[in-house]
Amino acid sequence: MHAVGVRRQDLPAAYLSSSTLASDMPGVNALSREFAHRLLHGLGSLLPVPDWYRVLTTASMPQRFRVEFSLPYSEQEEAAAHKVREWLPRIYRRLPDVLRIMGPYQEARGRLIGSRVEVLTRASNRFWIGRAQMRFREPEH
Answer yes or no: do 62 and 100 share one domain.
Answer: no
- How far is CA 68 from its chain centroid? 20
User: What mean pLDDT value characterizes the chain?
Assistant: 82
- Tell whether 69 and 113 lie within a shared domain: no
Kindly report which listed range (15-19, 65-69, 98-102, 106-110) carries the lowest average pLDDT score: 15-19
Q: What is the pLDDT of residues 70-111, one digit of tens each?
A: 998 999 999 999 999 999 999 999 988 888 888 888 888 888
Q: Are residues 41 and 70 in the same domain?
A: yes
Crossing angle of helices 103-113 and 119-129, in 10° steps, is: 130
**54 within a domain of the structure (yes/no):** yes
* 107 shares a domain with 89: no
Q: How many domains does the chain have?
A: 2
> What is the Cα–Cα distance from 35 to 29, expressed in whole angstroms?
10
Q: Is 6 among the domain residues?
A: no
How far apart, in whole angstroms, are the C-alpha atoms of residue 125 and residue 104?
A: 6
Give pTM, 2 decimals. Answer: 0.62
Residues 35 and 82 in one domain: yes
Q: Are residues 48 and 88 in the same domain?
A: yes
Q: What is the pLDDT of residue 110?
A: 86
- Domain span at residue 84 reads 28-94
